[in-house]
Amino acid sequence: MSSEAQSPAVTGLIGRKLGMTQLFLEDGQVVPVTVVEAGPCRVQQVKTRERDGYLAVQLAFEEVPEQRLNKPTLGRFRKSSVPPSRHLREFPYEGAAPEVGGVIDASIFQAGQQVDVTGTSIGKGFAGGMKRHHFRGGPATHGSMFHREPGSIGASSFPSRVWKNKKLPGHMGAEQVTVKRLEVVRVEPDQHLLFLRGSVPGAKNGLLLVRKHGSRRIGKEKEVTNAGG
């Protein structure tokens, strides 16, 4: 089956963030865009309601040599006759199910469409309360001795402890973030490129999941084995 016949069924793609640039539109407007390498992805497995309890298609992205995978994972790719790939993710599909081994590319998206992009935010390491939670801090002068400290964190006799979920210094960033309703400014299926208005989570070359806005989700950001890394 050709990619044109399969593409409308799948609601998302795996991609990589290539960086940011700007585009000049026909009306002379300049817009900042993020360039995303969206696919091509191969259909590694099709989940059915009868066998798996839900409808989804498992896509493979970024081919790797066979020696980069363990034997169980490699066996899955050999069974479906799909080249070994680094990443596997699941997306719902609508209508007829794509065939195993078929290619899904950026042509499933159109200019003017809204998408939701999920990625891993840039890690900031261990950060203080002002940087992590935007606390105001104390006076900067007159010998206050209170500049960037978080201040009091609990009561005295009651409850004699610190409440759960108290905003304190700690690890910042490097967590899953989803930015919704990003506009697709341009699609170049031949180059596997999407140009999205605005910024997306993560650093350059970071892995992204691009979904059509409003499409059905699988559970809570369901992910499967990240093969080979």
Residue 229 has pLDDT above 60, yes or no: no
- Whether residues 105 and 161 share a domain: the answer is no
- Whether residues 18 and 68 share a domain: the answer is yes
Residue 149 has pLDDT above 90, yes or no: no
What average pLDDT is seen over the chain?
85
Stronger pLDDT, 102 or 220, i.e. the higher one? 102
| 3-class DSSP assignment, residue 165 | coil
What gap in Å lies between CA 142 and CA 147, rounded to an integer? 11
Chain centre to alpha carbon of residue 168: 27
What gap in Å lies between CA 69 and CA 204, rounded to an integer? 25
- Whether residues 60 and 164 share a domain: the answer is no
Worst-scoring range by mean pLDDT, 21-35, 51-65, 122-136, 208-222?
A: 208-222
End-to-end CA gap in the chain: 30
What phi and psi, each to the nearest 5 degrees, are found at residue 89?
Answer: -140, 155
Confidence bin at 180 (pLDDT 50/70/90): very high
Interval 197-225 mean pLDDT: 77
Strand partners of residue 18: none
- Quickly tell me which residue has 């009091």 as its tokens: 152
In this structure, is residue 182 part of a structural domain?
yes
Residue 96 has pLDDT above 50, yes or no: yes
Range of the domain at 160: 128-172
- Whether residues 133 and 48 share a domain: the answer is no
pLDDT of residue 225: 37
Residue 226 has pLDDT above 50, yes or no: no
- Whether residues 43 and 143 share a domain: the answer is no
- Whether residues 108 and 187 share a domain: the answer is yes
| 3-class DSSP assignment, residue 227 | coil
Which helix (H) or strand (E) element contains residue 182? strand 176-188
Strand partners of residue 41: 104
Confidence bin at 33 (pLDDT 50/70/90): very high
Which helix (H) or strand (E) element contains residue 104? strand 103-104
Interval 133-152 mean pLDDT: 86
Residue 189 has pLDDT above 80, yes or no: yes
pLDDT of residue 133: 92
In this structure, is residue 218 part of a structural domain?
no
Worst-scoring range by mean pLDDT, 39-48, 107-116, 202-211, 219-228?
A: 219-228
- Whether residues 54 and 8 share a domain: the answer is yes
Report yes or no: 69 and 228 within 8 Å, Cβ to Cβ: yes
- Quickly tell me which residue has 């605005």 as its tokens: 198
What gap in Å lies between CA 145 and CA 103, rounded to an integer? 62
* Total number of domains constituting the chain: 2
Confidence bin at 228 (pLDDT 50/70/90): very low
pLDDT of residue 11: 87
Interval 144-173 mean pLDDT: 87
- Whether residues 188 and 83 share a domain: the answer is yes
- Whether residues 99 and 25 share a domain: the answer is yes
- Whether residues 77 and 165 share a domain: the answer is no
- Whether residues 14 and 57 share a domain: the answer is yes
pLDDT of residue 171: 96
Strand partners of residue 190: none
What's the CATH number where 55 sits? 2.40.30.10
Residue 73 has pLDDT above 60, yes or no: yes
What phi and psi, each to the nearest 5 degrees, are found at residue 206?
Answer: -75, 150
Interval 210-223 mean pLDDT: 68
Instruction: Report the half-sphere exposure of 216 (CA within 13 A, side-chain side).
Output: 13
pLDDT of residue 98: 83
